A and B are shown apart, each in its own frame.
Chain A
Amino acid sequence: MLDLKDLHARINPEDGEPSEIIKGLSLSVPAGEVHAIMGPNGSGKSTLSYVLSGRPNYEVTSGTATLDGEDLTGLEPEERAAKGMFLSFQYPVEIPGVPVMTFVRSAMNAQRKARGEAEISAPDFLKKAKQISALLKINPDMLKRPLNVGFSGGEKKRIEIFQMMMLEPRLMILDETDSGLDIDALRIVAEGVNALRSPERSMLVITHYQRLLDYIKPDKVHVLSAGRIIASGGPELALELEKSGYDGVIAGAKSGSAA
């Protein structure tokens, strides 16, 4: 599904010097698998999510990034979305004046159009929205309100997952979806995410803490440090990180004994 080989990427700020954040990252997420990426602050986790989703000013300088063998780097963000990529933002953006339902429906139909499919009918859309909002315990009134405006941190994350379930992407990138969620909300959100797990879908779960991985069980865990994967392992690696902290794993990787 997703293959990154020796990826280097930098941020080119409007006002300032470019800085390389991703420095030779290789990663392969096969279809049907959930991979977690953990790492300390500043290791490049969010940058990776933006590079993959095609945010302007996030530039791949060398290496490759492919989705099902197709080069991602030349694609616009909306083309990546139409090919099934979805980024759940760490900080979802507020969009005044656009109700959640209108936004999601516009996005869904734009994706369908790009894929040469017909628009979803209004009743089908409403039915689906109703089912998913019930599952995520989202008050239907919230879907009529402008997207994320005045929503709490937890509500914004729930709406991210709502959008993800509506759009049914193939590759999901969850960027610190657990931040801002209390334990009940975390459970609800995780149920939603788990409902999307299937042999055709892959997930990249970016997180600081092991906590989320109790609910969304990863097949593999990778440790990101200074723009590279320095250690990879099974779910037990996340537990080890929780116990001994990033410092131990990073030090271990430097001395050549990565887990």
Chain B
Amino acid sequence: MSALDLLPNRRVEGWRWSDLRAAVGSQLPPIASRPERVPPEHDLWSQLGAEIIFADGRIACWPEEEVSGIRVFSKTASEAGPPRSSPNVAVGQFAADSIEDDWFPIVGSTAQHGVVVVRHVGGSTPQMRAARLGVQVGAGESLTLIEVFENELAGVTNTLMECYVEPGGRLNRLVVQPQTEPATIVCTGQAFLGEKSEFNQFVFSAGGKLSRIQTDVIAGAGAKARLNGVCLAAAGLHADQTSHVTLEAEGGEVRQLVRSVARRKGRAVFQGKFLVERTAQKTDAQMEHNALLLEDGAEVFAKPELEIYADDVQCSHGNTCGQLDEQAVFYARSRGLPEAEARAMLTRAFLIEAIPDWLDEALHAEIEARVSAWLEAG
């Protein structure tokens, strides 16, 4: 069996609207050699915290000493073992099996809140990039992780992030995946949440040949997860945000809000599932996905799911899919806004409601600017 056959196609449940096998084509691109130079700093991201850079999937830069509330240690694949099982881990497992370096970084928190920026840097030459990263947030400690896929990532990029949050710890994770036309990107995140820990995630994804940002959360007693996302599919592009939250013990709380927008010939996919085990009484979980089809010929596929085995829980899911409110468009035009501007304003407002408050002002502004730029690009 070739490596290609490990990739799911549309006949695999969960990949029906995101045919990874078809996107990759007849063969996997070659694996890059070790980069000779550290990629240049990024105007924004490099300023925000300690940096880990994967250049074409190879580790190019990491903080060697403890800096500003984080430490990075390394493990070989055999030391670490395979990633823990979770519903969407298969392609992530493939990433773990494909890493070319003989070690991978594990980020740890310290008592001081730290910010770690992980940049996936590539180029216009099609490459196979696989990256694995571990995150450990200690009891009562906190960490912010910013994972950025940079604009040029031709070929296939497959990343796995395994996050362990100990009791009372807090992990904030921001994923930024800009529009990258020739790129096939699968980004798998796992969050294992200890008792009363907190996981806040925001995913901005603007699609590619195929883009799938998938997150598995396994929540312990009283753990809180907030999963938000903005999912944008421009003409000819595909953007998929998939998540699976397993509530294993009592008193977990989940809030999810994802907003998707697709243009003509763009495809946005949302798959969200909450699995509430029999042991997870008093779970309080709400899922909401809203999508806008901006033009005829846009596609949105949504599959919100609740699977509940406990009898004393509050769970809900909402899913809407539609077009802009024409009354609102006319109202704005009657006040003087040109039609295109009125539509952009309303779409922008729809999207930015999903940007969570835990992002600081600068990051909030950055995401808003990216939403605006996407809308202006038409």
B349 touches A96 (CB 8 A): yes
SS of B interface (majority): helix
Give A76 to B342 CA distance when docked, in angstroms. Answer: 13
Which of B338, B341, B342 has the most CB atoms of chain A within a 10 A radius of its CB?
A: B338
Hey, which chain A residues are within 8 Å of B352, CB to CB? 97
Give A219 to B77 CA distance when docked, in angstroms. Answer: 86
Closest to B348 in A: A97
Q: Is B301 located at the chain interface by the 8 A CB criterion?
A: no
A95 touches B336 (CB 8 A): no
Hey, which chain A residues are within 8 Å of B342, CB to CB? 78
Q: Is B346 located at the chain interface by the 8 A CB criterion?
A: yes
B325 touches A110 (CB 8 A): no
Give A110 to B335 CA distance when docked, in angstroms. Answer: 9
B76-101 CB mask vs A (1 if < 8 Å, else 0) is: 00000000000000000000000000
Q: Is B326 located at the chain interface by the 8 A CB criterion?
A: yes
A95 touches B346 (CB 8 A): yes
Give A53 to B349 CA distance when docked, in angstroms. Answer: 25
Q: Taking A55-B330, A98-B345 as contacts, is the C-beta distance between A93 and B325 under 8 angstroms?
A: yes
Hey, which chain A residues are within 8 Å of B348, CB to CB? 97
Q: Is A163 located at the chain interface by the 8 A CB criterion?
A: yes
Give A97 to B341 CA distance when docked, in angstroms. Answer: 15
Hey, which chain A residues are within 8 Å of B345, CB to CB? 98, 103, 106
Q: Taking A95-B349, A97-B349, A106-B341 as contacts, is the C-beta distance between A89 and B331 under 8 angstroms?
A: yes
Give A167 to B335 CA distance when docked, in angstroms. Answer: 8
29 contacts between A and B (CB under 8 A): A53-B334, A54-B334, A56-B326, A77-B330, A77-B334, A78-B338, A80-B334, A81-B333, A81-B335, A87-B334, A89-B331, A92-B331, A93-B328, A95-B328, A95-B349, A96-B349, A96-B350, A97-B348, A97-B349, A97-B352, A104-B335, A106-B337, A107-B335, A107-B336, A110-B341, A114-B338, A146-B349, A163-B335, A167-B336
Add 17 more A-B contacts to A93-B327, A107-B335, A110-B336 (CB < 8 A). A55-B330, A78-B336, A78-B338, A81-B333, A81-B334, A81-B335, A86-B334, A89-B331, A93-B325, A94-B328, A96-B349, A97-B349, A103-B335, A103-B345, A110-B337, A111-B336, A146-B349
